[in-house]
Structure 1
């Protein structure tokens, strides 16, 4: 006899963990593990932060816990489009961004603003200029040119993915071969996305290193305050009901409550709360220097 974790519904839907709520699933994000659901909140953030324009939650989507954030970007955008709430920019964290979504977001007339995952290839980590972004791509001819000026010899394509392969003889005689490829039998092989996705990804990786991008992205910090308000003041992390549908209703009601609190604060000119600082942090930000003579 062997123990099993529980009935399996599917690789993306997880395992049933509770006999009381058969829709609840186990989720994990970095070091945090929980049983239940996940909520995605969208709020306004482009209005002046002067107290007369409260940031309001305009969309709430609830999923089972194992659903990844990246799988929800398209659904969130479709919901905004259906409600005629398409923004000029949708500011999200890295979990909601990939190359294809950077392109597809433009179909909704919005810019998906968020940092992408860095290139994890060993060439990129070495920082010597031989990652995919360092190659010049001629999409018409189907050729790539490396930083040393050599062109690829062969193109193969399967579906939307393509490979540009450099000749073995070309790479064998290259003085910087060890910084470009570790293969001893073939030349460098580039694995590429479709042109639009490739160019969008490379452009974002360069853009996110600029001060202008970092300044624009700071607007997203407000959503962390919204999450804190929902968790600490409204008990968002504790589901009062069983089942995905009822939990979604609770999440929507919580968002409505937050909006009412913010509208009331605007009407009564109640200032927004400030981030709490520890005594040590206040001392670090406002140092006091003493000068004392010793005889």
Structure 2
């Protein structure tokens, strides 16, 4: 289920997305594209609230485009839904946002790739303090390697970035 930037994921390829549903966090309701409205339940342990369309989905003409579930669609709403929706809308429509994203994504992805390379996808120790120290040392080593590749040299008692000149 891959999506391109700015698109909501689809439960069914070519089908409906979460953007096709109308969520009213003030009233605590979700309305599906077929016009069925359900009330959001109490917050779960993670803060999400759910609207369960289950029985309404059985006879719905949009069922095949909406969900693969035999029991019907369950719609999850994040506690910060309105803020996240506004950010997604801005990402999809703002040329300035898209330019910034294109500018900064490659170096950030590269830095993350360097950080997790060579078996470092998981932290090696038990405990927050030991893993925090490990992460800082790993980042420092990667930064030092990058600076050396850019030409960091020591001349006398001074460090220089660029070609060495004596």
Which bin holds the TM-score, normalised by the shorter protein? 0.5 to 0.7
Match of 1:220 in 2: 104
**Per-residue deviation, 1:155:** 1.9
| Alignment coverage as a number of residue pairs | 128
1:165/1:207 CA distance change after superposition, 3 Å: same
- Which of 49, 52, 70 is the equivalent residue of 1:162? 49
Query: Alpha-carbon deviations, 1:105-150, whole Å to 9, x = none?
Result: xxxxxxxxxx57x644423x32x4x222221112123210112222
- TM-score normalised to structure 1 length: 0.34
- TM alignment of 1:1-295, pairs within 5 A: 119-123=8-12, 125-126=13-14, 128=15, 130-153=16-39, 155-159=41-45, 160-166=47-53, 168=55, 170-184=56-70, 186-194=71-79, 196=80, 198-210=81-93, 212=95, 213-220=97-104, 223=107, 244=134, 248-254=139-145, 258=150, 260-261=160-161
Higher helix share: 2
Question: Gaps spanning 5+ residues in structure 1: where?
Answer: 1-114, 232-236, 265-295
Distance 1:137 1:209, change over 3 A: closer
Give the superposition deviation at 1:248. Answer: 4.9
Which whole-Å CA distance do the structure 1 matches of 2:40 and 2:98 have between them?
A: 39
**SS of 2:161 mapped into structure 1:** helix
Higher RCO, Cα 8 Å, sep 6+: 1
Is the Cα–Cα contact under 8 Å of residues 138 and 144 in structure 1 kept in the other structure? yes
Please give the root-mean-square deviation of Cα atoms over the aligned residues, in Å. Answer: 4.0
Aligned to 1:20: none
Question: Could you tell me how far apart the structure 2 residues matched to 1:187 and 1:222 are?
Answer: 39
Name stretches of at least 5 consecutive residues in structure 2 with no aligned partner: 119-132, 153-159
Which residue pairs with 2:124 in the alignment?
none
